[in-house]
Structure 1
């Protein structure tokens, strides 16, 4: 298999895992869905660890809201976690899940 072919297969696998793409040939779609769920939850835990004030403000709503956000906007492989967290904060505010904060709070929530 050439490097180009391998890169294409890897891209298909990442698309299936991170963006609900179709399972590449040779992969079990059910197992990929399980793995995709695990990766999404991991991204949510990392985000909650990086932004504890956000997780605290949302409480029990954090997990379901992050899952909803992530389904519509999966994290890209090379994307910085801080930039992704900033998009989540913006999505929460625009969706009315968090009140529009004063400027200082926005700066704290988007500290990176």
Structure 2
């Protein structure tokens, strides 16, 4: 169970990181639309798992590689945005959120 502080920091990181990724534009990710769906922060607030949804989903692996390559730059820019709210900017790890693909597959099976 996440504490209230973890949830607040997760929402803050989700909002700001989503804006940073959107600002980079579609060209940075080969025309794929990237959305930050959730952020889970560790209890010591030093690590954040960032879940991203990618459309179209066949470009998900390429987008994840690019996000992993740019993780340090994104963390630095995130630190510039949240420097007055957080003492330590957490390390960032990106994960692909494939829940929409799963829902679509279940719908197709039920038809």
- Please give the TM-score of this superposition, normalised by the length of structure 1: 0.28
Higher strand proportion (structure 1 or 2):
2
Q: Give the number of the structure whose alpha-carbon radius of gyration is greater.
A: 1
Answer 1 or 2: higher relative contact order, Cα 8 Å, separation at least 6.
2
Higher helix proportion (structure 1 or 2):
1
